[in-house]
Amino acid sequence: MKLVLASKNEKKLAEMNAILSELGVEVCSEAQAGVDVDVEETGTTFEENSLLKAKAVMEASGLPAIADDSGLCVDALNGAPGVYSARYGGPELDDTGRYRLLLENLRGQTPRTAKFVSVITCCFPNGDVITARGECPGTIAFAPMGEGGFGYDPVFFIPGLKKTFAQLSAQEKNAISHRGRALALFQQKLKDYFK
């Protein structure tokens, strides 16, 4: 079975292929499916945005489409940046600018508890929808640490491992991350769907 990924992110594509290939599922890019869809993420939840993206790409390609909407929710900021994680601080900021803004907004704040959330949605042309949510709890470090990962990974600290996401290997991160957990649950739901 082939699924089209509703994203231009090559890292997400590789991650999904690595996890779903054992089910005989191939995840291809929008370009490989011959579509280029820009979806305005107007939802107020990860579930709404994930569904918007998967549905739009499924309708454009005529193939089952899979989307991930994810972000960082910080307790001291009332759950922000949340669904706006990729746009936090405005379009002029890059990943480094966004996590620096986050650290600035958390100056003097405690507790620094947070969680990464990922919602995976797959829309099929017959109208069926599979959704899976994964979460990874942690805290926000006082300064960036590590060279790996992307986004907020340098400041997302896992107390049990005493490392940020950016200090973990790809295998270590996939084993505990929000996306890894959502994909594991999605994989099980997809197995059940195929039955």
Q: Which residues are catalytic?
A: 69
70 labelled as ligand-binding? yes
* Residue 94 is assigned to a ligand binding site: no
The answer to whether 10 is annotated as binding is yes
189 has binding-site annotation: no
Tell whether residue 87 is among the known ligand binding residues: no
36 annotated ligand-binding residue:
no
Is 105 one of the annotated binding-site residues? no
Q: Give the position of tokens 């003097």.
A: 108
Using the structure block, give the residue that is written with the tokens 């291809």: 28
Please tell me whether 8 is known to bind a ligand: yes
> How far apart are the C-alpha atoms of 25 and 143, rounded to whole Å?
39
Extract the annotated binding site for Mg(2+): 40, 69
